Structure formats: C-alpha cells, structure tokens
C-alpha cells in the first residue's frame, strides 16, 4: 500500500488542531480513540506499506509517514518532523517511540524537544526518510519498486518479522489506551495548553 496525498504541497498537515482547541471531552475522546485505532492498524499491517511524502508533513503527518515500512520524499522544498513542542504541546509516548524506532534515541530526543521540521535533505541525513526524489512521479515509482521487493518474500515471514520489530511500541499502546486517552483529555483542558494552541492557530492565519 502506498500512502500519499492528492494535494499540491501538503502530504498531511497533522491532526486537526481545532479538535484540541476548546475541546468537548466526548468528541475529543472519540477523536483520540479513532486516532489510536487507526495508528495501530497502520503500524501493524500484514502487507508492506510505503509513504510517498509529496508535501509538508508535520506532527501527525510525520507519525503516519513513520508508521509505514519505507519513506520516499519529494525534495527539496518540503519539511517533515514532530513539531509538537513548537505548538506548546507534547508528543505522546507512542508518537515518540515510533520516531525512536526510525532514527534512534538521541536524534529523536533532539528532534522532539526542539520540534524541528527537517528539510528533505536533512531528513535523509538523519534517516527520517529513506530516499529523496525530485518529483512526485519518480517518488511514486521508487515507492512501487520498494513494494516489488516483497514479491519474493514470504508474507508470513514478512509479518512475523515486522511484529517482532514493532511489538514493544504496539503493546505499550494496547496496554495503556485508556491512560493515554485520559492524559490527552486532561492535558488539553489545561489553560496553558489552550493558550499555546490559541497562539499557534493565530500564527497560521494569513
């Protein structure tokens, strides 16, 4: 499966920030549970996945890209990263662990604490993406070539290997779904977080 965008310059703008601003707890609860389940499905697919990142990919967009098996990004003008701290919010443990699995503990910690958005070249250098291509068509071709490798791999061997590799992060979320949800609901009601989100949303307006 290839995950890509039909938009001109955005792969995925991340989660809808307006869902976190002045949230209704019931609605936020459904929103977050849906996100948890969607991520669990994507991170544990029984088939190979590639993200063809053909535009900017902040926060939740970066999470979805990192959850695929391989990342091909169109360069040089787009950016990718977990920029939550720039919004004055915190990337949950499973977002963080997904990044650690891709680029390692040290680089992930620097990336997460600074909320850095990496250019395509920078992302390639730290291993956040696997390949950089100059245009969307060649990126799609590369992504398809990666998937073709699996014609010669046993689906069972593929799935078992991926399960073993991803199991700690997956199991943590399965075991802590409610705790993770409670944290988000409580955290998003904090006046400091709400002020930070208000300022960030204002900064996005043209």
Ligand X SMILES: CCCC/C=C\CC(=O)SCCNC(=O)CCNC(=O)[C@H](O)C(C)(C)COP(=O)(O)OP(=O)(O)OC[C@H]1O[C@@H](n2cnc3c(N)ncnc32)[C@H](O)[C@@H]1OP(=O)(O)O
Burial (CB < 10 A; 0-12, 13-18, 19+), residue 95, is buried
Q: How far is the CB of 16 from ligand X (least distance, A)?
A: 4
Is 36 in contact with 63 (CB distance < 8 Å)? no
Q: The tokens of 115 are what?
A: 């909320």
Is 15 in contact with 62 (CB distance < 8 Å)? no
Q: Which is nearer to ligand X, 56 or 142 (CB)?
A: 56
- Separation of alpha carbons 67 and 69, rounded Å: 7
67 binds ligand X (CB under 6 A): no
| Residues that are catalytic | 15, 60, 83-84
Q: Which is nearer to ligand X, 65 or 72 (CB)?
A: 65
53 binds ligand X (CB under 6 A): no
Which residues, listed in sequence order, are joined to residue 58 by a DSSP beta bridge?
A: 81
Residue nearest to ligand X (CB): 14
Member of 23, 75, 92, 115 binding ligand X (CB under 6 A): 92
Member of 90, 100, 181, 185 binding ligand X (CB under 6 A): 90
22 binds ligand X (CB under 6 A): no
Q: Which is nearer to ligand X, 95 or 146 (CB)?
A: 95
Is 55 in contact with 9 (CB distance < 8 Å)? yes
Q: At what angle do helices 25-43 and 60-67 cross, to 10 degrees?
A: 30
Q: Which residue do the tokens 């291993």 mark? A: 127
- 3-state DSSP percent of the chain in helix, strand and coil, to 5: 60, 10, 30
Member of 54, 83, 98, 111 binding ligand X (CB under 6 A): 83
Q: Which is nearer to ligand X, 39 or 146 (CB)?
A: 39
172 binds ligand X (CB under 6 A): no
10 binds ligand X (CB under 6 A): yes
- Separation of alpha carbons 111 and 48, rounded Å: 27
- DSSP letter assigned to residue 150: G
Q: Which is nearer to ligand X, 106 or 206 (CB)?
A: 206
158 binds ligand X (CB under 6 A): no
14 binds ligand X (CB under 6 A): yes
For binding to ligand X (CB under 6 A), which residues are involved?
A: 9-10, 13-18, 56, 58-60, 83-84, 87, 89-92, 184, 187, 204-206
């Amino acid at each position: 499966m290839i995950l890509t965008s039909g938009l001109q310059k955005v792969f995925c703008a991340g989660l809808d920030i307006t869902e976190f601003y002045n949230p209704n707890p019931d609605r936020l609860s459904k929103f977050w549970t849906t996100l948890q389940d969607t991520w669990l499905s994507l991170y544990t697919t029984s088939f190979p996945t590639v993200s063809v990142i053909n535009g900017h990919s902040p926060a939740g967009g970066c999470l979805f890209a990192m959850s695929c098996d391989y990342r091909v990004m169109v360069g040089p003008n787009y950016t990718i990263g977990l920029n939550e701290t720039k919004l004055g919010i915190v990337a949950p443990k499973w977002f963080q662990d997904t990044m650690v699995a891709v680029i390692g503990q040290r680089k992930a910690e620097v990336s997460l604490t600074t909320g850095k958005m990496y250019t395509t070249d920078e992302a390639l250098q730290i291993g956040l993406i696997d390949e950089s291509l100059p245009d969307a068509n060649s990126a799609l071709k590369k992504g398809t070539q990666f998937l073709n490798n699996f014609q010669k791999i046993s689906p069972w061997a593929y799935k078992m290997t991926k399960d073993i590799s991803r199991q700690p992060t997956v199991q943590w979320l399965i075991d802590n779904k409610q705790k993770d949800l409670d944290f988000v609901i409580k955290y998003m009601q904090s006046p400091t977080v709400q002020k930070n989100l208000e300022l960030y949303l204002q900064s996005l307006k043209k």
